[in-house]
Amino acid sequence: MKQHLTRRELLAGAGIGAGALLVGPAKSLATVAKPGRVAVARCKTYGPELVPAMEKMFDQIGGLSGLVKGKTVAVKINLIGVRWQRLGNAPMEETFWTHPRAIGAAVHLMGKAGAKRIRVVEGPWSTPETLEEVMLSMNWKPRDILTAADNVEFENTNYLGRGKKYSRFMVPAGAMIYPGYDLNHSYEDCDVFVSFAKLKEHAATGITLSMKNVYGTTPITIYGEGAGKDEPSIRPHGGRGGTFHFARRLPSKSAPQQIDMSLPKDAGYRLPRIIAELNSARPVHLAIIDGVMSATGAETNYGSRPQAAVKPGVLIAGTNAVATDAVAMAVMGFNPMNDRGQAPFAASDNMLHLGENLGVGLRDLKQNDIAGVPISEVVFDYTAVRDKILAERKKA
Amino acid sequence: MALNAESVPMRWPAGPLDIACGEKAKGFTAQTAEVLRNWQDPASLAIVQGTPVNCLVVSWAAGLPADAAQPEALKPLIEKGRQAGLDFVGLIEGKADRVAAVAAAKAAGLAAVAMDGDAPAGASLPVIPWNKGSQVRSASSPVLGISDGIWPGLPQAASQAGGPTNLPWVDSNGAPVLIARALAPDKTVWVGFDPPPPQPPPQPPQQQPPRPQQQAGNSAEAYVLAVADPASYGAKWVISLDDQLRADLTAKKQPAADVWKKLVETLAFFGLHNQARTYQPDGPLAVLSNFAGPDYDSGEEAINLFPRIRQPFRVIARSRAAAASFAGLQAVYYVDQEAPDAALRQKLIAFAQGGGTVFVPSKWPNPEGAPLTAEPYLVFNLRKLGNGRLAVCKDAQPDPSDLVDDIQNIVSHRNDILRLYNAPSMNFLYETSAQGRQGVIHLLNFSRRPGSDGPLFYVKEPHKSARLVSPEIASPTDLAFTPQEAGGAELFLPKLSVYGAIELEK
């Protein structure tokens, strides 16, 4: 019988003492993480109830004006995956993508609260197209978002965009995978960074909420399958999986490199750490999660996975991404204190735990200030939906 | 009976010449030779009796010693076939004595011959030009052949590495067919391609019950796609069966009969639904080229790629561009390295000045208009021209994928007339009638199996009706338009294995 684990096995965790080993080479800043304020609102539709529900929620976490008045705000939305692949007939905004009316509502409220400039940002899958073009291709009305407040603009952050150079964000607590990340200028230009995510599960990381949404800030000119070897490519190509999920390739040499090439090449190990690092390097000031309509089972359509379009009818917002995601997990019927091997982290480490160790926020619900509708009243059990689909498949 | 648009051709390998050619090929077996001898027997014609197949393409001369024996060997087959109303076309290849072969074909009662290159002067029979797609040319024959068609489907070596988000490459005959139709709109286009060698069916793991008897060669769905791919683009596949299927049909094996039945049903379906003969491809973008020499590859690649990015388009032959209507177009992609003549250039510039966008190669001399600021990643430099734009390619040989992406991006999704969702392995072709009141969307599934969700179409313009027709459904099905908040409507389709078409009426 093997008596000792190798360093690689220790790092991989593999469910054995994972909690103690989660941080790896980075120093733990768990003690410096501050409690977050999170609000939960019931919102059944994207109709007239949306703006009041969102406004009340923002008030419950301290109000928007203190956060955005006179400031430049970057709102990172979620437009994941190939846009031509829906879940059944449901439009992307009703399953995987942040809903345009929810984006418009948030932008409107930020404008009302005095934001000087609002830039809606995202790096949609493998394209240099403007966000306006991506939205038009989904039959959205981007004009509704652009006119929801003064000085609203879009930027595709898959590449250099309107910037002259990439902005470097270092991980303050030290690296687990990468010591820092080079991002589009929009993430440095902003005074306030908002992650506007969808209430979803994720095939590799268990969940994808406001923390995971920050993963999409990484430019594919540097981290994509078609990135330049030495310098960022001019044109974005491909997804990020080769670099981030599986370490099949390196980022452009101009960017900070992986600290140790012997680290596990397992997405369940790598992604939670990369996500935690990104959230530490480029902290989220306001996390919003659109759970009015969503999808269970995964972040995008996987075809054979047990997935369903659902209507949890809930919105969540908070001043801290870890805390907000912890509340969102509870709303989804998951325990945010769980680690690898426990739902929803079947094959991955808990990004919230890793984020906590980097000082991003606290995942223990008791340590955060939670307002609005009690979680118990809006729980929408994602596991139950999956179990039902599986049972129906078995019967069929 | 003369060859015409109703002719349904089938390759009929038989006789000493095919045996001689086969013996030169790898994997040729005694069983295959026996089948070739059997198909020389007039009794073998029972296979096509009562089917839409009415024209058999036989090997006639290939510059081999066996050439001499072939006409005599096929004589009974040809006589019996002609009595049954079948036409015969003789395929003349290689270093055959073409004049002698044509004369022998005339004497044997063939309806036509097919050969590459130029027809012998004064040929006494119609000569079907049988050339590669890149050398396609019109002739006096009512039929135009493309000899290097491709077995349609997903390439064997297709990578699955992209996970759930990749659109795979597909092998289709769409581009060469559309080019041939643009170059010779009054001709019927035939495409020749053979099935790949049959792969042995996967064996079920031990302990599992044996699977029902299956056809050992290519699947029925593969043959359905082989018919549907050229047919939906307006051409006819010169049906060609794999060795195993021919052997099994000869031996009257049931799985082979089932595959043949499905192929025949598909032929009958396209015989009934043959709008492509009169409808023309439509879309907000036109690809304009002479489709010859070095420009063929650029034009063909663009026409291959636009369906993958779901961009409807028209194809205009440069020789016909002066008379072509640009009405309804948002953009024209002028492919050729050679600048157009003064009249065509003026027509393109006027189109741009009126609000369109003209995409031109880097060699475009003295570009008109004033430079516009554009995203640095674009493969085009943009210039303002009246109410429109001239987009001049930065490089002589841009990446074809970037090029079509940028054309679509610059034209803008605002101008999309159709969008297809939930169909990563599908291509579609949109065609309209001359007056534009009727349209058809051909939908081809190159994976040959239904996806996890049914395909879904966004249709921008209002229509009175939409009807799904497919060899996979018992009868045409009316489709309901689901209106969209931002305009347009969506059509939800059932899952399709290989082919379906939406017939639209305004």
DSSP B64-100: SGGGGGHHHHHHHHHHHHHHTT-EEEEEE-TT--HHH
Predicted TM-score (pTM) of this structure = 0.92
Q: Which residues of A touch B (CB under 8 A)?
A: 81-82, 84-89, 125-130, 133, 136-137, 139-141, 159-160, 234-236, 239, 241, 300-304
What lies within 8 Å, CB to CB, of B370 at 6+ separation is B383, B384
**Distance separating alpha carbons of residues B177 and B307, to the nearest angstrom:** 14
pLDDT at residue number B91: 98
Average pLDDT across chain B, whole number: 92
Nearest CA in chain B to A156: B375
Q: Which CATH superfamily is domain B418-505 in?
A: Golgi alpha-mannosidase II (2.60.40.1180)
pLDDT at residue number A174: 86
Burial class (CB in 10 A: 0-12, 13-18, 19+), A345: buried
DSSP B160-203: -TTGGGPPPP-B-SHHHHHHHHHH-TTSEEEEE--PPPPPPPPP
Q: Which residues of A187-218 are buried (b: 16+ CB within 10 A; e: fewer)?
A: bbbbebbbbbbbbbbbbbbbbbbbbbbbbbbb
Nearest CA in chain B to A155: B375
Phi, psi of B34 (to 5 degrees): -65, -40
Contact A136 B413 (CB under 8 A): yes
DSSP A214: G
DSSP A28: P
Instruction: For residues B298-312, give the mean pLDDT.
Output: 96
Give the model's confidence band at B208: pLDDT under 50 very low, under 70 low, under 90 confident, else very high. Answer: low
Phi, psi of B10 (to 5 degrees): -140, 135
Contacts of B490 in chain A (CB under 8 A): 89
pLDDT at B165 over 90: no
Return the structure tokens found at A343: 């739902």
Asked if the C-beta of B449 comes within 8 angstroms of chain A's C-beta atoms, the answer is no
pLDDT at residue number B210: 53
Q: Where are the domains of chain B?
A: 9-150+157-272, 284-415, 418-505
Contacts of B163 in chain A (CB under 8 A): 239, 241
Higher local confidence (pLDDT), B348 or B169: B348
CB atoms within 10 A of CB A371: 18
Contact B414 A136 (CB under 8 A): yes
The minimal CB distance from A85 to the residues B422, B454, B488 is found for: B422
The minimal CB distance from B488 to the residues A81, A139, A159 is found for: A139
pLDDT at residue number A108: 98
Top residue of A46, A84, A157, A184 to mutate, by most chain B CBs within 10 Å, is A84
Contact B453 A89 (CB under 8 A): yes
Q: Which three-class secondary structure state does DSSP give residue A202?
A: strand
Give the model's confidence band at B211: pLDDT under 50 very low, under 70 low, under 90 confident, else very high. Answer: low
Asked if the C-beta of B421 comes within 8 angstroms of chain A's C-beta atoms, the answer is yes
Contacts of B487 in chain A (CB under 8 A): 139
Asked if the C-beta of B402 comes within 8 angstroms of chain A's C-beta atoms, the answer is yes
Give the model's confidence band at B209: pLDDT under 50 very low, under 70 low, under 90 confident, else very high. Answer: low
Asked if the C-beta of B168 comes within 8 angstroms of chain A's C-beta atoms, the answer is no
**Of A237, A243, A253, which is closest to residue A223 (Cα–Cα)?**
A243
pLDDT at residue number A371: 98
The minimal CB distance from B165 to the residues A82, A130, A136 is found for: A82
Q: How close, in Å, is residue A137 to chain B by CA atoms?
A: 5
Q: Which three-class secondary structure state does DSSP give residue B259?
A: helix
What lies within 8 Å, CB to CB, of B216 at 6+ separation is B198, B200, B201, B244, B248, B255
pLDDT at B47 over 60: yes
Q: At what angle do helices B220-232 and B254-272 cross, to 10 degrees?
A: 20
pLDDT at residue number B166: 53
Contacts of A137 in chain B (CB under 8 A): 413, 416, 419
Give the model's confidence band at B118: pLDDT under 50 very low, under 70 low, under 90 confident, else very high. Answer: confident
**Distance separating alpha carbons of residues B323 and B312, to the nearest angstrom:** 21
Contact A235 B402 (CB under 8 A): yes
Class for the domain spanning B9-150+157-272: alpha beta
Query: For B333-380, how does the pLDDT look when each residue is reduced to its tens digit (9 = 90+)?
Result: 999 999 999 999 999 999 999 999 999 999 999 999 999 999 899 999
Residues within 8 A of A (CB atoms), B 465-504 only: 484, 486-488, 490, 492
Query: For B383-392, how does the pLDDT look when each residue is reduced to its tens digit (9 = 90+)?
Result: 999 999 999 9
pLDDT at residue number B216: 65
Q: How close, in Å, is residue A133 to chain B by CA atoms?
A: 6
Contact A82 B424 (CB under 8 A): yes
Query: For B235-277, how does the pLDDT look when each residue is reduced to its tens digit (9 = 90+)?
Result: 999 999 999 999 999 999 999 999 999 999 999 999 999 866 7
Q: How close, in Å, is residue A249 to chain B by CA atoms?
A: 14
Nearest CA in chain A to B456: A89
pLDDT at residue number B159: 45
Contact A82 B166 (CB under 8 A): yes
**Distance separating alpha carbons of residues B313 and B235, to the nearest angstrom:** 18
Nearest CA in chain A to B482: A89
DSSP A254: T
Q: How close, in Å, is residue A140 to chain B by CA atoms?
A: 7
Q: Which helix (H) or strand (E) holds B5?
A: none
Nearest CA in chain A to B417: A137
Contacts of B492 in chain A (CB under 8 A): 89
Give the model's confidence band at B199: pLDDT under 50 very low, under 70 low, under 90 confident, else very high. Answer: low
Asked if the C-beta of B453 comes within 8 angstroms of chain A's C-beta atoms, the answer is yes
pLDDT at residue number B278: 86
List chain A residues with pLDDT less than 50: 1-25
pLDDT at residue number A81: 87
pLDDT at residue number A13: 32
The minimal CB distance from A82 to the residues B167, B409, B413 is found for: B167
Nearest CA in chain B to A139: B486
CA angle B304, B305, B306 (to 5 degrees): 105
Contact B377 A128 (CB under 8 A): yes
Instruction: For residues B460-481, give the mean pLDDT.
Output: 96
* Range scoring the smallest mean pLDDT among A26-30, A116-120, B163-167, B473-477: B163-167
**Of A320, A325, A347, which is closest to residue A336 (Cα–Cα)?**
A325
Contacts of B427 in chain A (CB under 8 A): none
pLDDT at B321 over 70: yes
CB atoms within 10 A of CB A150: 10
pLDDT at residue number A82: 86
Q: How close, in Å, is residue B165 to chain A by CA atoms?
A: 5
Question: Is 0.85 exceeded by the ipTM?
Answer: yes
pLDDT at B160 over 50: no
Contact B162 A239 (CB under 8 A): yes
Residues within 8 A of A (CB atoms), B 283-312 only: 310
Query: For A279-332, how does the pLDDT look when each residue is reduced to its tens digit (9 = 90+)?
Result: 999 999 999 999 999 999 999 988 778 999 999 999 999 999 999 999 999 999
pLDDT at residue number B137: 75
Contact B413 A88 (CB under 8 A): no
Whether domain B284-415 has CATH 3.40.50.880 = yes
Measured in whole angstroms, the distance separating CA B357 from the mean position of its chain's CA atoms is: 28
Contacts of A241 in chain B (CB under 8 A): 163
Q: How close, in Å, is residue B309 to chain A by CA atoms?
A: 10
Contact B165 A139 (CB under 8 A): no
Contact A85 B163 (CB under 8 A): no
Nearest CA in chain A to B377: A235
Measured in whole angstroms, the distance separating CA A224 from the mean position of its chain's CA atoms is: 18
